[in-house]
Amino acid sequence: MVRYIDELQLTGKRVFIRVDFNVPLDDTQHVTDDTRIREALPTIKKVLASGGKPILASHLGRPKGVDPKFSLMPAAKRLSELLGKEYEVLMADDCIGEGVAKMAKDLKPGQVLLLENLRFHKEEEANDEGFARQLAACADVYCNDAFGTAHRAHASTAGMVPFVKEKCAGLLIRKEIEQLGKVVKHAEKPFVVVLGGSKVSDKIKVIENLLPKCQVMLIGGAMAYTFLKAQGIEVGKSRVEEDKLTLATKLLDSAKRLGVDLVLPIDHVCGTSPDAKSAAVDVLERAIPKDLMGLDIGGKTRALYTQHVRDARTVLWNGPMGVFEVPKFAEGTKSVAVAMANNRDAQTVVGGGDSAAAVNELGLAAKMTHVSTGGGASLEFLEGKELPGLKALE
């Protein structure tokens, strides 16, 4: 059993909140997508409203040692704007040490302390015990609200937990578990799973875990060509994982056995390379000419997949339908996002970093039931795996 932040008495307590402020920055050190910061606000505000002292910690990027390019300062600035004038955000220049301990102790009501990038210390990812103890030293309560890193056992997500008196999860983690949990455990039928992205190998366990639960599985993205080739269909120069052909055949068989309608593209948008240099060529049939590669699902497939999504009561989507970074190969991805947004009778859940980015770019996030903040973490959750960050809180 995991307890949540609103079940604890917090008055006067220093609450260490592991947030996920791993946000994208531009060249001028501005946050270009603040979704993750906004998603952390309910927990931070809950602690403030309960008279607790929030001490926030996160990683940002993959720095090798201390590197100002990876400072959390831009996140502190954005957080301060989002919290408004009522509250004050203080920034520490490290995440451990006496200076941090003193700032944490001296926090006044209405103040929030953000610690500097956890990954400035290599001990964070190594889950070093000494470092974990130092992190724990500034806290009375540990709260994990970083769903995006819950699949990693690092010092701040797992190692430090036993060294803090009380532990709990935050409100974002609760939302993620509830929403992703609902589609995995109690999806209303018809349950349609839309899978895409670059590799079958990334998604095998998700397919295996969800096949017995869904009625329809729509496959797009590069992984579709491994499935098509496994059925003996010509896929030209499309990206294929040759060592996964047998597995693809097995998955197709088990879909048949389970009575799941596993749907593959019936036409394609092709090109000569997966970038903007290539022209987009419509291929109106299943087989792809020898000199072309499939880069998006075609118009007939878009209509077919839209129809399935329209008829669903639950839709789970992971992985773009094509090379959506290039506008001429983004229509398939867009059509799935639009069909989900338009189905107001269904639970619509998006997992996966690139798919979530596509939905955000299209401005459709608010029309979905839930867009997960965790790329890898949501994938592992959908595989049915236990996440170490959640296990540590039990």
Give contact residues for ligand ADP (rule: CB under 6 A). 197-198, 202, 221-222, 239, 274, 294-295, 318-320, 322-323, 325, 352-355, 375
**Cβ proximity to Mg ion, 265 vs 374, nearer residue:** 374
Q: 274 is in the binding site of which of ligand ADP, Mg ion, none (Cβ under 5 to 8 A by kind)?
A: ligand ADP
DSSP string for residues in 174-223: HHHHHHHHHHHHSPPSSEEEEE-SS-HHHHHHHHHHHTTT-SEEEE-STH
- β-pair partners for 318: 195, 351
Q: 117 is in the binding site of which of Mg ion, ligand ADP, none (Cβ under 5 to 8 A by kind)?
A: none
3-state secondary structure of 317: strand
Strands 268-271 and 293-297: antiparallel
The whole-angstrom separation of Cα 104 and Cα 254 is 55
CA distances from 38 to 19, 79, 337 (A): 11, 8, 22
Please report how close the Cβ of residue 195 comes to ligand ADP at its closest, in angstroms: 9
CB 83 within 8 A of CB 41: yes
**Cβ proximity to ligand ADP, 89 vs 323, nearer residue:** 323
**Cβ proximity to Mg ion, 170 vs 374, nearer residue:** 374
Please report how close the Cβ of residue 68 comes to ligand ADP at its closest, in angstroms: 29
Q: What tokens were used for 230? A: 């496994």
User: At residue 392, what is the residue type?
Assistant: A
- Which residues lie near Mg ion (CB under 5 A)? 353-354
Q: What tokens were used for 327? A: 């506008």
Q: 355 is in the binding site of which of Mg ion, ligand ADP, none (Cβ under 5 to 8 A by kind)?
A: ligand ADP
Residues assigned a catalytic role: 36, 199, 353, 376
Please report how close the Cβ of residue 390 comes to ligand ADP at its closest, in angstroms: 20
Please report how close the Cβ of residue 353 comes to Mg ion at its closest, in angstroms: 4
**Cβ proximity to ligand ADP, 20 vs 354, nearer residue:** 354
Q: 393 is in the binding site of which of Mg ion, ligand ADP, none (Cβ under 5 to 8 A by kind)?
A: none
